[in-house]
């Protein structure tokens, strides 16, 4: 009968054995792991195949998976179209699993979300898809088409732009403003208008959001009050009402000066 190791190899490729006797014959004829991989890559009829689970990084990868993780990174980083793995964000370099999550998901995005399902490389089984579990507040290291969970990075933003759906861009931008920058939205119309003409990069998006604190965003203060940042004529902030207060002060100053001149003329008369 097929042993547990062989079943695990089949499962790694997204297969579930349905014809045990045929599977036993195929496995006995495979003298090496590479031979068995060649059989499984043909998706034989003695198993049911689910590509969505093939080569998926396990949620709890143990230390024994270190070599497989390293090879997974090596293969997919070498086969990127545009992205370079040197740009994996710092928050996703805390572990090999996080790095693999980011690299594998970006690789999938670059290939129109079609995983290569490259499960075998340099004589070892590797991973082609990131972990499937996603924290409730989104995953910092998985780029996806879901605006609620994709990484809040430039690659996550590019995943939204590629879809061309303004609704997704609104949701993603809201997360950047609230989760990433700590802002509150006080003008929904102004906020959503950004999605109609979104910038081309995450850097530009953050810059626009930071500049919008005087119009349709505000910063939640320690007393839970939404503090609107007012701009002065020089573009800086003022705790005394900004440019409008400065203009009012100048108006009263000139009025007072005019009054003094008038009194002086009357006295001289």
CA–CA distance from 163 to each of 109, 113, 216, 257 (Å)?
A: 11, 11, 26, 62
- 172 within domain boundaries: no
48 sits in which H/E element:
strand 47-49
- 82 within domain boundaries: no
Residue 255: which pLDDT band, with cuts at 50, 70 and 90? very low
Say what the pLDDT of residue 226 is.
Answer: 66
pLDDT digit string, tens, across residues 47-77: 999 988 899 988 765 666 889 999 999 999 9
- 12 within domain boundaries: yes
Which comes out higher in pLDDT, residue 219 or 232?
A: 219
| Spatial distance between the Cα atoms of 216 and 41, rounded to a whole number of angstroms | 54
The answer to whether the CB of 99 falls within 8 A of the CB of 88 is yes
For 21, the domain range is 4-53
The answer to whether the CB of 255 falls within 8 A of the CB of 263 is no
Does 106 have pLDDT greater than 60? yes
- 34 within domain boundaries: yes
pLDDT digit string, tens, across residues 132-188: 775 544 458 999 999 999 999 999 999 999 999 999 999 999 999 998 888 888 888
- 85 within domain boundaries: no
- 16 within domain boundaries: yes
pLDDT digit string, tens, across residues 159-175: 999 999 999 999 999 99
Please choose, from the candidates 167, 73, 151, the residue with its C-alpha nearest in 3D space to the C-alpha of residue 159.
Answer: 151
Q: How many domains does the chain have?
A: 1
The answer to whether the CB of 6 falls within 8 A of the CB of 47 is no
- 181 within domain boundaries: no
């Amino acid at each position: 009968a097929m042993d547990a190791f062989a079943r695990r190899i089949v499962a790694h490729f997204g297969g579930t054995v349905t014809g045990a006797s045929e599977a036993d014959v195929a496995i006995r004829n495979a003298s090496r792991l590479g031979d068995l991989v060649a059989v499984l890559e043909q998706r034989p009829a003695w198993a049911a195949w689910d590509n969505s689970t093939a080569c998926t990084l396990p949620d709890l990868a143990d230390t024994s998976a270190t070599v497989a993780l390293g090879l997974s990174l090596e293969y997919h980083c070498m086969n990127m179209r545009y992205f370079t793995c040197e740009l994996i964000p710092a928050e996703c370099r805390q572990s090999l699993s996080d790095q693999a999550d980011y690299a594998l998901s970006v690789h999938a995005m670059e290939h129109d979300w079609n995983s290569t399902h490259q499960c075998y490389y340099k004589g070892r089984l590797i991973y082609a898809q990131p972990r499937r579990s996603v924290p409730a507040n989104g995953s910092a290291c998985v780029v996806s088409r879901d605006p609620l969970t994709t990484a809040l990075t430039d690659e996550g933003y590019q995943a939204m732009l590629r879809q061309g759906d303004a609704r997704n861009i609104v949701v993603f931008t809201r997360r950047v403003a609230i989760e990433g920058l700590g802002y509150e939205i006080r003008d929904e119309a102004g906020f959503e208008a950004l999605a109609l003409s979104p910038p081309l990069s995450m850097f530009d998006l953050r810059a626009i959001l930071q500049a919008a604190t005087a119009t349709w965003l505000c910063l939640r203060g320690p007393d839970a009050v939404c503090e609107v940042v007012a701009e002065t004529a020089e573009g800086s902030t003022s705790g005394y009402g900004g440019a409008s207060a400065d203009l009012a002060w100048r108006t009263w100053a000139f009025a007072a000066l005019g009054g003094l001149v008038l009194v002086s003329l009357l006295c001289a008369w």
